[in-house]
Amino acid sequence: MGSPLRLSVVGPRGEQAWTEVSEEFDATDRALSRFREDAELVALDRAAGTGIAMPVSRRLERAVHVTERARRLTDGRFDPRVLTDLERIGERGAVLAGHHHQGHRSRRTDAVVRHAGRGYLTLDDPIDLGGIGKGLALRWSTARVERAGIHDFLLDAGGDIVARGRPPDDSQWRIGIEDPHDIVGSSVAIVGITDGAIATSSIRRRRWDHDGTPVHHLIDPRTGEPGWTGLHAVTVAGADPAWTEVWSKSLFLAGAHDIAIEARSRGLAAWWIDAAGTLEMTSAARAKTIWVRGED
């Protein structure tokens, strides 16, 4: 899934837990990656717009339907139909012959996918399942580890994290929120998690110049362009890693002006850092925060 994996397990069964995690991430990557020529998603994306119903695995079918629910719940701020926009600004995956950027379609209300019977899907537009795919890989890996009878562990996929139980020396897992303005990635806050997930949408790493213009990977589906929202990073903690991923991106695109109202109205534990480097958070996030830089 394009991210380094780190697994911490309390007790003697770390090797078994790692086998469960690595097998699940491998299987999910084969299903949901847009960078692998042999990935199921690439085949589905290549058939987008043709009307052909493609056979898909249960993983890919579930992932596409989760994205449709996310699109509806976020009023379109989360929408996987940004693949051609990413390609246009230089983040290229497997070649999708015949697909070209068609320009922005304002506030899409049509569904992401047309269901063509169980195990078959039809797309009108190619999709990218990067962030939510990683969240689902974390969800499914966690379930496999728990089914194996392992209950105290932390799984980190490039900064998106699931924690279960507790570490050996504390009552909760301690997770740092990275400063997006710091080249070495120091923490601006430390958060305590027992049974839950935490995800961050940030422009610290995946940003580059395209034709002399600064761009990044967090595309606003409403404009087809990178979202310059006055925010540099948004972190959300919750019960499920796929949904923390959804809400971190959706809140990032809500922007510095609206993020506080939306996050609080939804009861989300959210932390955000603006362009000036200021850290803010909701009351639900404050309850999970152990330490904040400058408040020692």
CATH number of domain containing 52? 1.10.3980
List the beta bridge partners of residue 122.
114
Is 262 part of a structural domain of the chain?
yes
- At what angle are helices 241-254 and 130-147 packed, to 10 degrees? 150
Is 133 part of a structural domain of the chain?
no
Whether 178 and 117 map to the same domain: the answer is no
Is 65 part of a structural domain of the chain?
yes
Whether 210 and 275 map to the same domain: the answer is yes
Is 57 part of a structural domain of the chain?
yes
Is 13 part of a structural domain of the chain?
no
Tally of domains within the chain:
2
CATH number of domain containing 286? 3.10.520.10
Is 248 part of a structural domain of the chain?
yes
Can you list the alpha helix ranges (DSSP code H) found in the chain? Answer: 14-32, 40-46, 58-73, 83-88, 130-147, 241-254, 259-265, 283-286
* Per-residue tens of pLDDT for the chain, all 296 residues: 778 999 999 999 999 999 999 999 999 999 999 999 999 999 999 999 999 999 999 999 999 999 999 999 999 999 999 999 999 999 989 888 655 445 444 456 789 988 767 899 999 999 999 999 999 999 999 999 999 999 999 999 999 999 999 998 888 999 999 999 998 889 999 999 999 999 999 999 889 999 999 999 999 999 999 999 999 999 999 999 999 999 999 999 999 999 999 999 999 999 999 999 999 999 999 999 999 999 86
pTM, full prediction = 0.94
181: containing domain = 172-292
Q: Which of 73, 105, 128 is the last residue of a domain?
A: 128
Q: Which of 128, 161, 191 is the last residue of a domain?
A: 128
Can you tell me the distance from the alpha carbon of 26 to that of 144, in angstroms, rounded to the nearest whole number?
A: 13
Is 270 part of a structural domain of the chain?
yes
Q: Which of 58, 93, 128 is the last residue of a domain?
A: 128
Can you tell me the distance from the alpha carbon of 56 to that of 42, in angstroms, rounded to the nearest whole number?
A: 11
